């Protein structure tokens, strides 16, 4: 990453991307001119179809959700510290709350299927293992695309909720 990249924003939280030396050090980013930080929280991991399948559960696995919720709470605390010490504008996007709402009140979002993914059986396939498999007729009715990842519709819901929470914060 180059200093100029900060003008457009950098992301270092994507699952497979790893951490860049510069983005991993927020103090350095701040000294280079970064003034805003947005962190997207962890979704309810225990509600992922793959986790439920592995754990032999039909409902969300509470222990996994407790860890995800706890992690998100700790991130919020760290953001408050960063805001004070680095004088950065910060915002937290509550992916846990948004996805939990969609899973518990699917009709609010026009969703029908909350427990399995659209690809294959919807219980174990994810990523490349979905290649060539049958998919559901209408992914907009599903929370999950595969056994791990949200559908495009769910990402849109997350983005809309994120924008609402960010207005005025960053």
Burial class of 7 by CB neighbour count within 10 A (0 to 12, 13 to 18, 19+): exposed
Q: Rounded distance, CA 76 to CA 73, Å? A: 5
Question: Considering all CA atoms of the chain, what is the largest pairwise distance in Å, rounded to the nearest integer?
Answer: 51
Q: Rounded distance, CA 129 to CA 8, Å? A: 34
Q: How far is CA 42 from the centre of its chain?
A: 5
pLDDT in tens, 94-150: 999 999 999 999 999 999 999 999 999 999 999 999 999 999 999 999 999 999 999
Q: Cβ of 77: how many Cβ atoms within 10 Å?
A: 10
Q: Can you name the CATH fold of 35-164?
A: Rossmann fold (3.40.50)
pLDDT in tens, 69-98: 999 898 888 888 878 888 878 888 899 999
Q: How far is CA 91 from the centre of its chain?
A: 14
pLDDT in tens, 39-70: 888 999 999 999 999 999 999 999 999 999 99
Cβ atoms 146, 127 nearer than 8 A: yes
**In the structure encoding, which two tokens stand for residue 86, read together?**
């680095």
**In the structure encoding, which two tokens stand for residue 87, read together?**
């004088």
Cβ atoms 37, 79 nearer than 8 A: yes
Place of tokens 């927020």: 26
Domain ranges of the chain: 35-164
């Amino acid at each position: 990453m180059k200093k100029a990249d900060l003008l457009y924003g950098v992301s270092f939280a994507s699952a497979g991307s790893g951490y860049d030396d510069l983005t991993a050090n927020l103090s350095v980013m701040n000294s280079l001119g970064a003034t805003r930080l947005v962190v997207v929280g962890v979704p309810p991991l225990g509600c992922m179809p793959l986790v439920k399948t592995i754990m032999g559960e039909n409902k969300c696995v509470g222990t996994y959700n407790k860890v995800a919720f706890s992690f998100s709470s700790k991130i919020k605390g760290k953001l408050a510290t960063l805001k004070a010490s680095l004088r950065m504008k910060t915002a937290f996007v509550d992916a846990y709350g948004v996805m939990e709402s969609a899973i518990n009140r699917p009709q609010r979002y026009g969703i029908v299927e909350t427990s399995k993914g659209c690809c294959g059986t919807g219980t174990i396939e994810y990523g490349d293992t979905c290649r060539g498999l049958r998919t559901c007729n209408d992914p907009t009715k599903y929370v999950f695309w595969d056994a791990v990842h949200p559908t495009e519709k769910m990402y849109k819901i997350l983005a809309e909720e994120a924008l609402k929470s960010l207005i005025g914060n960053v």
